């Protein structure tokens, strides 16, 4: 039992450490995109990659290659069960100061723009599965703050190591 308690404590410490790291990164993300490090980037994949927006799906960030199948992208209209901002995808958590200010979360006015979405979709943006991978990822993240923190931390660390 002692070993199990030590392991549980270590796992909990990792979770707390990851949440602190993500909150640190969020303060930076208010000023600049985490992926391209530009303060003028709003987080949309086309702006981040400096390419024409008509080539990328807004919902899943995939490259739209013909047949315009992204009009019916499966990553559109994800339900968040009130656990995150429906516009910028910030987790509504009492430990994130920006998540409690409704004036910072109106359509087109979110302080994080699309930068959080860009980070969340970082690993699935190249998938050509009509938004299925993005939908699965976003549904989990936007409904459960623990999953959101885990995915944000994992992707932010991956981005930092590129």
The residue extents of the domains of the chain are 2-160
**Alpha-carbon distance 103 to 160, whole Å?**
30
- In the structure, how many helices (H) and strands (E) does the chain have? 5, 0
How is residue 116 written in tokens? 């959080």
Q: What's this model's pTM, rounded to 2 decimal places?
A: 0.87
Q: What is the pLDDT along the chain (162 residues), one digit of tens a residue?
A: 667 766 767 777 788 999 999 999 999 999 999 999 999 999 998 899 998 888 888 888 888 766 656 678 888 888 888 888 888 899 988 888 777 666 667 777 788 999 999 999 999 988 888 889 999 999 999 999 999 999 999 999 999 987
Closest CA to 160 of 119, 121, 130: 119
State how far the Cα of 37 lies from the Cα of 103, in Å rounded to an integer.
Answer: 26
């Amino acid at each position: 039992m002692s070993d199990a308690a030590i392991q549980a404590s270590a796992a909990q410490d990792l979770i707390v450490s990851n949440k602190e790291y993500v909150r640190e990164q969020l303060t930076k993300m208010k000023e600049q995109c985490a992926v391209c490090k530009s303060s003028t980037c709003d987080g949309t994949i086309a702006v981040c990659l400096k390419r024409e927006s008509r080539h990328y799906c807004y919902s899943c960030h995939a490259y739209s290659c013909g047949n315009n199948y992204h009009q019916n992208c499966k990553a559109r209209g994800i339900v968040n069960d009130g656990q995150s901002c429906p516009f910028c995808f910030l987790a509504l958590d009492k430990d994130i100061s920006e998540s409690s200010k409704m004036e910072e979360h109106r359509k087109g006015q979110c302080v994080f723009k699309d930068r959080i979405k860009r980070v969340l979709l970082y690993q699935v943006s190249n998938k050509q599965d009509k938004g299925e991978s993005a939908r699965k990822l976003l549904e989990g993240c936007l409904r459960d703050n623990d999953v959101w923190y885990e995915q944000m931390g994992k992707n932010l660390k991956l981005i930092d190591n590129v």
